Amino acid sequence: MSTPIALNSENYAGLDTGIQDILKLGKRALITIYTDAAGTTIASDEHGEINEREVLSIIFTASYHNADGNDTTPFVVVKFTNGNGQFVDYFTTVDYVDDHWYKLSEKAIPSKTF
């Protein structure tokens, strides 16, 4: 079993590549988000555990000066379904606070015949 990877902007390129590699295989990219580095406690939101949810997109925003002249903290946003494809949800993690880790997995896209 693979070790969870910190969900932050430093690891964004690896997350992006991992998702693209899964998609290039013609499969769906799934993400599980944890609240501990060992991967024993799955993070939750209002829809339940964030366990093998289908990834729709990921976004990285670097630090910048906001309108007040203050520096912002870099962050990563993961957009995914709620696990059964009915809801779209967002998960945002802020850099410099290592409190979430992730693992990617894949799921075959079912064939349809008409």
Q: Whole-prediction pTM value?
A: 0.84
Shortest CA distance to 37 belongs to which of 11, 57, 63? 11
User: What kind and span of H or E run contains 103?
Assistant: strand 101-108
- The answer to the question of residue 112 being in a domain is no
**pLDDT 10s digits, 18-53:** 999 999 999 999 999 999 999 999 998 888 899 999
- The reported pLDDT for the residue numbered 85 is 64
- The answer to the question of residue 18 being in a domain is yes
Per the DSSP assignment, residues forming a β-bridge with 45 are: 48
- The answer to the question of residue 113 being in a domain is no
- The answer to the question of residue 83 being in a domain is yes
> If you search the block for the tokens 């932050």, which residue do you land on?
8
> If you search the block for the tokens 């925003």, which residue do you land on?
61
What is the domain range of residue 58? 5-107
Residue 4 sits at the vertex; the CA angle it makes with 8 and 75, to the nearest 5 degrees, is 10
Q: How many domains does the chain have?
A: 1
